[in-house]
Each structure stands twice: as structure tokens, then as C-alpha cells.
Amino acid sequence: MADYLIHKFQYKDRYFLLDAESGAVHLVEPIVYDMLDGFIGGAKEDTINALSDKYDLETLELAWEELSTVQENGLFLQEYVPFNFEYNPDNIIKAMCLHVAHDCNLRCTYCFASQGDFQGTRCLMELDTGKKALEFLAKNSGNRYNLEVDFFGGEPMMNWDVVKELVAYGRELETIYNKNFRFTITTNGLLLNEDNIAFINEHMSNVVLSLDGRREVNDRMRSTVSGKGSYDLIVPKFQMLVGLRGDKDYYIRGTFTSNNLDFSEDVKLYKELGFNKTSMEPVVTDPREPYALHPHHMDEIMRQYDKLTDMMEEELKNKSGFLFFHFMLDLNQGPCVVKRSVGCGAGSEYIAVTPEGDIYPCHQFVGEEEYKLGNLDSGIANNMIRDKFKEANIMTKSSCSSCWAKYYCSGGCHANAYYNNGNILIPYEPGCEMEKKRLECSIYLSSIEKE
């Protein structure tokens, strides 16, 4: 069996060749695209003869020569060479999802956090617990300089005073430990006002603002405790926050379900509302739920990504600065191969801390007792679970090792794998399918952008 891994695809009038093991992506002329199979598996003379009805001999010779050159340069048919590295041997922790509230003022139908309480008692994090969490992060961060803390819930703004005090405490710890805390917050926006928007825009390096798109789409899934829609309450607040935010990062982030398979319309609405940094994610839920995504929805989802590609192509031509998170791809200088191999770092470099101070691999495992890693007092006590996550990567996930997209998705989300297949090593297949489609769209858009 060949140890190289290539993927060739056509998108609109462009032809692409991706060499997985080198990471190279090539934009090729149709003559090269047509020659690939012969170049890989056949003799030069036979291949050129077979194509001579369609192309002239001189250009066929040139195509063969260019393919030979990129192969000699290690950017085509590069063979898999296992590279040995020990991932996070010192068990450094650099990122924390801080659950300052296990309570919420919305009752979103699809919420993986059981409408905010994570299947437990509704509660808020005490300030002392939060301080202990930041100290735990600083003390366990080894030589890492950049540390990340995402204020999460539930709805983190239901515990706003604690959030503010923790930011101030983090700044104190920066001096003591020589660290840089990057604070971020994920909010539904209901409690935003001029004062807390000013604080967020000053102190949060990124803000994730939850909105599903069109009013009827959003309000069907994201209602208040009294059952009313949230769209009219939150959109003006998000517009105020974004209007005052300047160049700092934010994302308007939605979830699409089988109720809005035309989700490209929701992304268009983001733009109409003045939001330029956008993300729209497929719902991942129990397949028995009426809004769940199923295999028969895939064709329409793929069409929607094509529509979004058309939209983004226009935005690129107009240099509007509009961004769709899943189409952002830095082909010049993406992450290193280590990062691409291990993924998000959940359960190892990245942890979630509950209001009670319990530690889980990430926010999506909170409440799953068998996945509890420990708590802030005892530290990480469940080494078996930590090691399980440390060892989950594209080399150990068998379906990933032969996939051309492995260095882009990095094995996918462990939680999606666990909740769908009962095993963090078996990726969530519909997620893989969507990821591969988005990658093809992204590569096409990158080729447009480079012109």
C-alpha cells in the first residue's frame, strides 16, 4: 500500500492537488489534473500517448516535467514518515474554560448544557473558586507565556461581578508569574449594557456572541425563560458592542439545525446587520431530536456551503473584510505539524472548571462523572483519563490516518466523537464530511485571494 496521500478536486473552473504529508496545496492546469493518475501509476510514454488527442505533445512533456519537479522538491507524493514527539510530557495547562455560571437566562432547545445547569443544580461560581482556578492555571502553565481563559456558562454574565474581579486578579497574576492572560467571553447578550460592553471591549481579547440568524430561526431555538424570542432583545446590544469594539476580535456565532438548512441566508443576515466576523456551526445532538441533522440533509448542507463560497468570493473581490470562520485558512503560515497532529488539547493543555471547582477535559464533558479529571484542591487526579486524551490524535484515530484532511481538522472534536460513537477515538463522520467540504471551499477561496 502506498504511503503517500493525495487529494485532487475541481471547484468551479479550478483544479487542485493536495499532498497531505507535505501539506502542499497546488493549483494546477487541467492538463496536469488529467495527467495525475498516469503519472502516479503509469509509464510516461503511455500517459502522454493517452492524452495526446486532447493536448499538444510539448505541453504534455512540460506537465510531466513540472510534476517531476514538485515531487523532487518533496511537495508531491511525499511519503508518510512517523515523526516521534512526546505530546505535553510536563502536563502543562495553558487554556481554561471557566464555568462561572451553571445557570442561564435563555432556554435554548439544543443546548448541550441542559439549558445551563449541565444536568446539575443551577449555581454560580464563588470568587474564591475563580481565583483558585486562575492560580491553578498560572502554576501549571510551565514555560507557556500566553494563557487563555474563556468565561463560559450557562450564561457567564449572570455572574458579572465575579467576571470583573477575576479579570483584575488575572492582571495581578500576570506580574507575579510573568504571563499574559487572554480573557474571552461567550455570551447570549441578554444582559449587555453600556457599562459591561465597555469593560468587555477593553479587557476581552475575543467575544463570542450567540445568534442563530433570522428572527424566526433564532427565536424558534433560542427563547427566554418565559418562552419569548430573544432576537429583538439581543441584536441591538450586539450591534452596540460590535460598533464600539474597533479592530478587536469577535464572532457572531450561530447554530444551524434541520430547521434552517438554508443557513447561508442566516449568514447573509449577519452581514446586513453589520456583523463582519461570523461563524455558523452544525448542531450536534441526539439523533432522535426533531431538529437533528441526518445523512439525507447532507446534500443540502453541501449546497449551502457552495452558496457561502459564492458569497465569500464576492466579499473577497470587494475587499469588504467579511469573514466566515470555517473558510479562514492560512496556507502560507498555518499551525505547525505538532499542533495539527494533536488538535485542541482538551484534557491535557485545555481544561474546563465548574463552579464547584471540578475539572473536566473540556466544556462538553462537564457533568460526565467518568470523565472528571479532578478538582482545584487535589489537582488532576485521574491520570488515566488525561492520558487517554493525550494519546488521542490523528495517528491513533484509525480513520484519520488515511484521510487527506487530517492535518486540517486534527482528528475532529473529541466530544462529538464520544457523544455519537461512545469513543473519543472514533470521529463523528458527518462532521468529517462537512469539514472536507469546507476545506475544498476554503482552498478555492484562498486561490482567489492570492491573485
Partner 1 sequence: MKLIRTLTGKSLKETAAKGGCGECQTACKTSTVGNQKCENEEQ
Pick out residues in 258-317 that bind partner 1 (CB under 8 A).
279, 281-282, 284
- In whole angstroms, the minimum distance from the beta carbon of 66 to partner 1 comes to 5
Q: Which CB, 90 or 161, lies closer to partner 1?
A: 90
- In whole angstroms, the minimum distance from the beta carbon of 442 to partner 1 comes to 7
Bridge partners of 253, per DSSP, are 210, 279
**By CB under 8 A, residue 92 contacts partner 1:** yes
- Which of 12, 338, 421, 423 lies at the binding interface for partner 1 (CB under 8 A)? 338
Q: Which range of residues in 88-96, 101-109, 165-173, 298-306 is near partner 1 by CB under 8 A? A: 88-96
Determine the size of the site formed for partner 1 (CB under 8 A).
84
**Distance between CA 383 and CA 395 in Å, rounded?**
21
Q: Which CB, 66 or 306, lies closer to partner 1?
A: 66
**Distance between CA 407 and CA 334 in Å, rounded?**
10
Q: Which CB, 22 or 159, lies closer to partner 1?
A: 22
Q: Which CB, 238 or 327, lies closer to partner 1?
A: 327
Q: Which residues contact 53 (CB under 8 A, 6 or more apart)?
A: none
Bridge partners of 229, per DSSP, are 223
β-strands 277-282, 123-124 pairing: unpaired
Q: Within positions 99 to 128, which residues make up the interface with partner 1, using CB under 8 A?
A: 112
Q: What is the largest CA-CA distance in the chain?
A: 77
β-strands 146-152, 95-99 pairing: parallel
**Distance between CA 119 and CA 126 in Å, rounded?**
19
Closest listed residue to residue 410, CA positions, set 394, 388, 430: 394
- What is the number of other CB atoms lying within 10 angstroms of the CB of residue 210? 21
Q: Which range of residues in 42-50, 163-171, 258-266, 443-451 is near partner 1 by CB under 8 A? A: 443-451
- Which of 5, 6, 31, 200 lies at the binding interface for partner 1 (CB under 8 A)? 31
Q: Within positions 362 to 421, which residues make up the interface with partner 1, using CB under 8 A?
A: 363-364, 407-410, 413, 416
- Which of 4, 8, 9, 23 lies at the binding interface for partner 1 (CB under 8 A)? 23
Query: In this structure, what C-alpha cell is assigned to residue 81?
Result: 514518515
- In whole angstroms, the minimum distance from the beta carbon of 383 to partner 1 comes to 20
Query: In this structure, what C-alpha cell is assigned to residue 395?
Result: 495517528
Q: Within positions 176 to 205, which residues make up the interface with partner 1, using CB under 8 A?
A: 182, 186
- Which of 42, 236, 243, 334 lies at the binding interface for partner 1 (CB under 8 A)? 334
Q: Within positions 36 to 65, which residues make up the interface with partner 1, using CB under 8 A?
A: 59, 62-63
Q: Which CB, 61 or 128, lies closer to partner 1?
A: 61
- In whole angstroms, the minimum distance from the beta carbon of 379 to partner 1 comes to 20
Per-residue x/- marks for partner 1, 131-170, CB under 8 A? -------------xxx-x---x------------------
Residue 117: phi and psi, rounded to 5, are: -100, 0
Q: Which CB, 125 or 352, lies closer to partner 1?
A: 352
- Which of 6, 344, 376, 424 lies at the binding interface for partner 1 (CB under 8 A)? 344
Q: Which range of residues in 82-90, 189-197, 233-241, 375-383 is near partner 1 by CB under 8 A? A: 82-90
**Distance between CA 215 and CA 269 in Å, rounded?**
10
- Which of 50, 75, 273, 298 lies at the binding interface for partner 1 (CB under 8 A)? 75
- In whole angstroms, the minimum distance from the beta carbon of 431 to partner 1 comes to 6
